[in-house]
Amino acid sequence: MRIAFVDVDGVRTRYLYEGSGPALFLLHGVGVSGDTFCRNIDVLAKKFTVCAPDMLGHGFTDAVDYRGGPPQPHIVRHVGRLADLLGFDRYSVAGSSFGALIAALMYFDRPERLEQLILIGSGSVFHRADDQRDTLRAAFANASTAMGAPTLESCRQRMANICHDPRSVGDEMLLVQLTSYALPDRFSAYKATIEGMIASLSSNDPEQHRVYGRLDRIKAPTLVLTGREDVRADVKMHEAGVKRMPNARLVIFDRCGHLPYMEYPERFNAVVTEFMTEADA
């Protein structure tokens, strides 16, 4: 696994990468960074060109002014332009939580270029608006303790609160997380992202920033993967959502919370590799 910085239309962007073969983006959830996939990148890179960027205002990628609007269109464009700069004509996208919403929106933005989707434990995709509003407020309350006054222990506890087994939290990513939270604009960027997401739930044009109402229009081969004990993504809503999707299958990890790729990395890597290989064939 390696790390690079690139200028994406004036935005300093950090990404983790490795491998060769078909391109696969890994998109993290809100308030974390590409480092959450540190247990997956090298394994997946045996078959794929893996890129795990820090999305706008996260990790060590610059924040931008959302001008009081939702963050989704800005982030979709940013990741799409990163794909252009890296020379990826076609690619697959795996997204976790908020990252899954960005992944699905990338499909609607460039359906001809996106090959497969992997949506991981995502209330942003599968919850109704009122349920997701409550989920985002709970996420904000949990993250504020760590981001408002970051310590190594507060970062560890924040992640442990969304895992089924707190011992599964990756210590290898905590120092990076603590360092990024020390940047003066990270907490304000996080607040702007959450506030914009909540506001978009009441938008007069909900389809522009959401995908819940158009799951039936996602034609790409899609793997939906979630933990049965996920406190941020209701498993029953994932089951109902997958039934509306024409080309999707659901995998549920038992005794697993919001971060299956961290909690069960070996199984996650195997399931994703199998799905990507089958879909590509």
pLDDT of residue 202: 84
Query: pLDDT band for position 36 (50/70/90)?
Result: very high
Q: Which two tokens stand for residue 211?
A: 């995908």
On the 0-12 / 13-18 / 19+ scale of CB atoms within 10 A, 210 is buried
| pLDDT for residue 204 is more than 60 | yes
Tell me what the pLDDT averaged over the chain comes to. Answer: 95
On the 0-12 / 13-18 / 19+ scale of CB atoms within 10 A, 172 is exposed
| pLDDT for residue 205 is more than 70 | no
| pLDDT for residue 271 is more than 90 | yes
- The domain spanning residue 93 has which CATH number? 3.40.50.1820
| pLDDT for residue 281 is more than 80 | no
Share of the chain above pLDDT 90, in %: 93
Q: pLDDT tens digit string along 225-264?
A: 999 999 999 999 999 999 999 999 999 999 999 999 999 9
Q: pLDDT tens digit string along 92-127?
A: 999 999 999 999 999 999 999 999 999 999 999 999
| pLDDT for residue 170 is more than 90 | no
On the 0-12 / 13-18 / 19+ scale of CB atoms within 10 A, 93 is buried
pLDDT of residue 69: 86
Return the closest-CA partner of residue 114 out of 122, 125, 103, 126: 103
| Whether 212 contacts 125, CB under 8 Å | yes
Residue 246: phi and psi, rounded to 5, are -75, -20
| pLDDT for residue 134 is more than 80 | yes
Domain count of the fold of the chain: 1
pLDDT of residue 206: 62
pLDDT of residue 55: 98
On the 0-12 / 13-18 / 19+ scale of CB atoms within 10 A, 198 is middle
pLDDT of residue 279: 63
Q: Supply the range of the domain harboring residue 138.
A: 2-280
Please tell me the least confidently modeled range out of 40-44, 54-58, 186-190, 199-203.
Answer: 199-203
